[in-house]
Amino acid sequence: MLSKASEKVFLIGAGPGDPELLTIKAVKALQKCDVLLVDDLVHPAILRYAKPGARIIHVGKRGGCKSTPQKFIERMMVRFAQTGAIVGRVKGGDPFVFGRGGEEMLALRAAGIDAEIISGITAGCAVPAMLQIPVTHRDHSRGVTFITGHTRTGKPINYHALVQSDTTIVIYMGMTNLSEISAGLIAANMSSNTPAAAIRNGTLADQTAVISTIGKLPEDARLAGVSSPAIIVIGGVVGLANAVHSGFLGPEAESPLQAAAA
Going from the C-alpha of 38 to that of each of 73, 195, 243, the distances in angstroms are 10, 35, 34
Is residue 48 within 8 A of residue 29, CB to CB? The reply is no
Q: Smaller CB distance to ligand SAH: residue 7 or 94?
A: 94
Shortest distance, CB of residue 232 to ligand SAH, whole angstroms?
A: 8
Q: Does 128 sit near ligand SAH (CB under 6 A)?
A: no
CB of 121 to ligand SAH, least distance (A): 8
Question: DSSP character for 183?
Answer: H
Contact flag: residue 117 with ligand SAH (CB under 6 A): no
The closest alpha carbon to 252, from 217, 228, 222, belongs to 217
Site for ligand SAH contains 231 (CB under 6 A): yes
Residue tagged active-site, from 4, 28, 32, 61: 61
Smallest CA-to-CA distance from 152 within 115, 103, 202 is with: 103
Distance CA 245, CA 87 (A): 38
Q: How far is the CB of 253 from ligand SAH (least distance, A)?
A: 27
Q: Is 196 in the site for ligand SAH (CB under 6 A)?
A: no
Q: Judged by CB under 6 A, does residue 99 bind ligand SAH?
A: yes
φ and ψ at residue 95, rounded to 5 degrees:
-65, -20
Q: Is 175 a catalytic residue?
A: no
SS3 for 7? coil
Q: Is 147 in the site for ligand SAH (CB under 6 A)?
A: no
247 contributes a contact to ligand SAH by CB under 6 A: no
Interface stretch with ligand SAH, choices 68-76, 104-112, 200-208, 242-250 (CB under 6 A): 200-208
With CB under 6 A as the contact rule, which of the stretches 47-55, 96-104, 237-245, 251-259 interacts with ligand SAH?
96-104
Radius of gyration of the chain (CA): 20
d(CA 9, CA 108): 8
- Interface pick for ligand SAH out of 97, 144, 157, 238 (rule CB under 6 A): 97
Q: Catalytic annotation on 61?
A: yes
Q: Which residues contact 139 (CB under 8 A, 6 or more apart)?
A: none
Residues 40-79 close enough to bind ligand SAH by CB under 6 A: 41
What are the catalytic residues? Answer: 39, 61, 173
